[in-house]
Structures are given as C-alpha cells and as structure tokens.
Structure 1
Amino acid sequence: MVEVLLDAVALLLLLGLVAGPVWLCVRRPDFPSGFTWSFVVVVGLTILFSWWRDYALGLELFAMGVDLDGFTTDERMRGVAPHLRDQAERVVFSPERLGVGWPIKTGFALFDSVPAAMAVCSIPWMVRMVLRRRRGVEITQKPRPKARLFKAVFRRSQPWRALNLRCVLLIT
C-alpha cells in the first residue's frame, strides 16, 4: 500500500514534468516568458522528482521496519516482518539506493529534461509564426523608444548662469 502511494506521487511529478512546459508555453505564448517559466518549472520539478525518489525509498524502508543504522544485515533486518524480509533486502541493496546520490542524478537528468522542454516550448511558438506569415501579418518587434535617462536643462530663472547645467531625471 505504501509503495502505491509513493509511486502515485512520483507519477504526478513525472506528469507535471512532461505536461508543465506544454501548458506554460500554450498559456504564455510570448517567446521569452514561456521559455523562462518553462525552464524554471522543469528545473524545479526535476529536482523535486529526483529528491522524491530517494526520499520515497527511505520511507518505504522505514515502513518495512528496516534499521539503516545497523552495521550488519541481521542488525538492519531485525525489525522487519518475516514475509517482507526478502523484499527489504532487495530494496536495501538495490542499485537505486547505493551508488551516486540524488543530486548527481538530478544533474544528469537536467541534461535530458531541459532541452526536451525547450524543444516542446518552441513548437507552439514556431506554429504561431508560420500561421502569422500565412495570414500576411508581418512579424516585427515593436521599436523601443530611445531611453533618455538624463537631459541637460538650462536654468531659465537665472539667465546669467546659462552655463550652469543641472541634470533632470526623466522617467520614460
């Protein structure tokens, strides 16, 4: 029963990892925003998914009664029910638990998940571009106004100090 609940949470995280970027890129069609939020969601869910798999394995062993602080196998399996002993030994010595930890697994998973999410995010954007070109809508970015932060202004109240300039901050 515990395994089913833990696997259900892992499945929900995996579905969010696959469907999250698609939903965000459809919801936010503009180019940089969709990619940015998709990247944040993918990185966050990948970290959460990798951590959850490690944490769920520890919860499963705790539910079976395994004492991971024991030195020998007999000390570790002292609190395990006899019908769960074989399963507990398989989980304790599984390659998923031994070897590299979840942070390194997360780093390797990011090499796959981030480019896949970016590719998925670029598909709706490219489809929109093609549809706009077919309709004859020219795709150009709006020209940005030139930013004028400072402007030299003569003091009109004192004409004899015409060379005395002051900077006025213009908020545009």
Structure 2
Amino acid sequence: MLTTRRKVLITAVAGAAVAGSLAYGVSAQAEEAADQPASLVEDFSYPGAAQIEADKKIKLIKGDGKIMLAECGSATDLIQVESYNNLSEPVYCFKVLGSTGFLTLEIPNVFFIWAGDEKVTATVTVGGVEKDPVVVDANDGEPVGAEDPKNHAVLLELRV
C-alpha cells in the first residue's frame, strides 16, 4: 500500500515528465514555425483609410484593390462621385484597375455618380434605408438621392 507521501512524490514526478514533454513539444513547434514564412491574411482593408478620412471626410473601408481613390483630372476614365459632403472637394474620383472590382466606402450627401469606361453599380442608402442598386452605364451618369430634399444619400459600395 502506498503512503500519502509516496503518492505525492509519484504524482509530482509524473507531472514533471508531462510538463517536460509539453515544453519540448511547444519548443519544437516554435522552431518549426520559425522556419516557415509568416502567414499573410488579406482582410481587404483600404490602405491609408484613416488619413484619407481625416483629409477628405470619406471612409474607404475595404475592397479588392481594383477601385482606388484617384486625383480628379488625372485620367479621363475615372468614376466620379459628386457630394455636398466636403465643399472644398465636391467630387471624389476613383480609378478602375481591372475589368471587375469592388470598394466598400461611406460618402455622405451624394447626389450624382458618373461612370468611367466601365458600367458601375452603386449601393446607396437614402434616409438610412437601402435603395435598389444604382446602375450607371459606361461613360454616363445617374442622380442619387434626388428624392430626399435634405440629401441624406450615403454611397456605401461601388462595383464594376
């Protein structure tokens, strides 16, 4: 029959052996992980979004990198979003870098969208209610939020 002291000693030795095995396993995994390249997970966040929001008063949230904010006048095929949001910059322009693309954003007080060389579909809320998608044919324009006299139209997404 084992005494209490022996039981404690056996339990302590067994616990130390298990802890040593676990520590070795963790150490071995850490060494293996150091040999592997870091995992990159794309979250599609828009680069420099915080600075753009501070400067231009718009939120560029995420996208696939194929619709990017651009300087108006830098090209003739830009998507143009007209807004009462920022009177010093009433038009925001976006360059399309592929045949398809999306950009999730928030531009308040939007009243008109011009498409570039590609047809654009825009998701808009008016007075907090999401409306049917606005489809703007290539090289054409569409009014947005015209039914709201206080112009509470918010552009939420652009898709090409």
User: Per the shorter chain, which TM-score range?
Assistant: under 0.3
Higher helix share: 1
Radius of gyration: which is bigger? 1
Greater RCO between the two (CA within 8 Å, min separation 6)?
1
TM-score (norm 2): 0.22
Higher strand share: 2
TM-score (norm 1): 0.21
